[in-house]
Chains A and B, each alone.
Chain A
Amino acid sequence: DVKVTQSSRYLVKRTGEKVFLECVQDMDHENMFWYRQDPGLGLRLIYFSYDVKMKEKGDIPEGYSVSREKKERFSLILESASTNQTSMYLCASSLLRDSHPYGYTFGSGTRLTVV
Chain B
Amino acid sequence: SQKIEQNSEALNIQEGKTATLTCNYTNYSPAYLQWYRQDPGRGPVFLLLIRENEKEKRKERLKVTFDTTLKQSLFHITASQPADSATYLCALEHQAGTALIFGKGTTLSVSS
Contacts and interface: CB of A to CB of B under 8 A. Distances in A.
B79 interface: no
Interface string A10-33: 000000000000000000000101
Interface string B32-66: 10101000011111100100000000000000000
Contacts of A41: 104
How big is the B interface, by class?
A: 20 to 34
A62 to B, nearest CB: 17
Interface string A38-57: 00111101001000000010
A108 B89 contact: no
Contacts of A102: 49
A84 to B, nearest CB: 19
Contacts of B104: 40-42
A107 B98 contact: no
Contacts, number: 62
Chain B at the A interface: SS class: loop
A109 B94 CA distance: 22
How big is the A interface, by class?
A: 20 to 34
Contact of A45 (B32, B44, B94, B96): B94
Given A40-B104, A100-B93, A107-B43, A48 B98 contact: yes
Contact of A56 (B41, B98, B105): B98
22 contacts: A41-B104, A42-B104, A43-B101, A43-B102, A45-B94, A58-B99, A59-B101, A90-B43, A92-B43, A99-B97, A100-B31, A100-B97, A101-B98, A101-B100, A103-B49, A104-B36, A104-B100, A105-B46, A106-B43, A106-B45, A108-B42, A109-B43
Interface of B: 31-32, 34, 36, 41-46, 49, 89, 93-94, 96-105
Interface of A: 4, 31, 33, 35, 40-43, 45, 48, 56, 58-59, 90, 92, 99-109, 111
